[in-house]
Structure 1
Amino acid sequence: MAFFSKDIDPALQGAGAKAGLEIWCVENLLLVPVPKTSHGKFYSGSAYLVLHTILVKSGPPQHDIHYWLGNHANEVDSTLVSDKALELDAALGSCTVQYKEVEGQETEKFLSYFKPCIIPLEGVYSSQPGKSNGETYRISLLTCKGDHAVHVKEVPFSRSSLNHNDVFVLDTASKVFLFSGCNSTIQERAKALEVVHYIKENKHGGNCEVAAIEDGKLVGDPDVGEFWSLFGGYAPIPRETPLAVQQQPDTTPVKLFWITYQKKLVQVATSSLNRDTLEKDKCYLLDCDTEVFVWLGRVTSVTERKTSISAAEDFLREQGRSNGTHLTFITEGLETPMFRSYFSSWPQTVETKLYDEGREKVAAMFKQHGYDVKELPQDDCEPYINCRGTLKVWQVNGNELSLVPVSEQTKLFSGDCYIVQYSYPGDERDENLFYAWLGCGSVMDDRVDAISNMSALVDSTKGDAVMAQVTEGKEPAQLFLIFQTLIILKGGISTRYKTFIAENGFADETYDEEKTALFRIQGTNPNNMQAIQVDLVSSSLNSSYCYILQNGTSVFTWIGNLTSTKDHDLLDRMLELINPTWQPISVREGSEPDSFWSLLGGKTEYPKEKKMKKFIEDPHLFICVLTEGKQKILYLCFYSLKG
Structure 2
Amino acid sequence: MEEEGQETAEFIAALGPKTAIAPSTPDDEKVESANRKKGALYMISDASGSMKLSVVAPSSPFKQAMLSPEECYILDNGGDKNIFVWKGPRANMSERKAAMSAGQKFIKEKNYSSKCRLQVLPAGAETILFKQFFIDWKDKDETTGPSQAHVIGRIAKVEQVPFDASSLHTNKAMAAQHGMVDDGKGKFEIWRVENGELVPVDSASYGHFYGGDCYLILYKYKTGQIIYTWQGLKATQDELAASAFLTVKLDDSMGGSPVQVRVTQGQEPPHLMSLFQGRPMIIHLGGTSRKGGQTQSGNTRLFHIRQSTSHMTRAVEVEVCASKLNTNDAFVLKSPSGVFVWRGVGASDDEMEAAKHVVGFLGGSATHVAEGKEPAAFWSSLNGKKAYQDCKTLQNVIRAPRLFGCSNKSGRLIIEEVPGDFTQSDLATDDVMILDTWGQLFLWIGKEANAQERTGAPKLAREYLDSDPTGRKGLPITTIKQGAEPPIFTGWFHAWDTKMWETDPYDRIRARF
State the TM-score, normalized to the length of structure 2.
Answer: 0.47
Which structure has more relative contact order (CA 8 Å, sep 6+)? It is: 2
Q: Decide which structure has greater strand share.
A: 1
Q: Which has the higher helix share?
A: 2
Larger radius of gyration: 1
